[in-house]
Amino acid sequence: MTSDSTASVATARDAFERLTQRQLDRAYRFAATILGDEEEAQDAVHDAAVRAWTHWAGLRETDRFDAWFDRIVVNVCRDRLRQAGSRRWMASLDERSGQEVAESTGDRDLLARALAQLSTDHKIVIALKFLEDQSVEEIADRTGVRSGTVKSRLHYALRELRAGYEAALRSGSRSDT
């Protein structure tokens, strides 16, 4: 390796590290929401960073790094969920984004159970929309699908979420504290 190519690799590594560091906290929260497990999320984001570095040379527009990296995180999470099968995911919703999602522990438990029943694609759009506060266009960019598909997934995910929550309420499985 010549000194020019060594310097070029070091410059690329520095740029990659700067861009990645900016994204890590948000990526961890996002992955934890999808996967429902903090340790699994850390592993997923680490895998995503390794995958991103491996494909760094293929990124043509560094100003689009955020969307590109999010798409990698989404794909790594999707792969992990596929590998884990129908594992239950439960996010610490009241720790995310500073918003109170439900008024009581019982409501959060019911919501978590309803969320766990959603498909991976529906979990992803719900997480991006309501926990990451992204627009339909941003979600489409990060997931690699058309905005119409995102709107459809949001519509059906919310409908399923509402039905699951209401069914849990009717069944009397609410555990108020």
* Beta-carbon contacts of residue 61 (< 8 Å; ≥ 6 apart): none
Location of each CATH 1.10.10.10 domain in the chain:
90-177
CATH number of the domain located at residue range(s) 90-177 in this protein: 1.10.10.10
Which residues of the chain form CATH 1.10.1740?
A: 1-86
The answer to whether the CB of 67 falls within 8 A of the CB of 138 is: yes
Q: Which fold has domain 1-86?
A: Rna Polymerase Sigma Factor; Chain: A (1.10.1740)
Local confidence pLDDT in tens for the 177 residues of the chain: 555 555 555 677 787 788 778 888 888 988 888 887 888 889 999 999 899 888 887 877 777 888 888 889 989 988 888 776 534 343 333 344 334 444 445 667 777 778 878 888 998 898 888 877 889 999 998 888 999 999 999 999 999 988 888 887 788 654 444
Task: Quote the CA–CA distance of 174 and 109 in Å, as a whole number.
Answer: 8
pTM of the model: 0.59
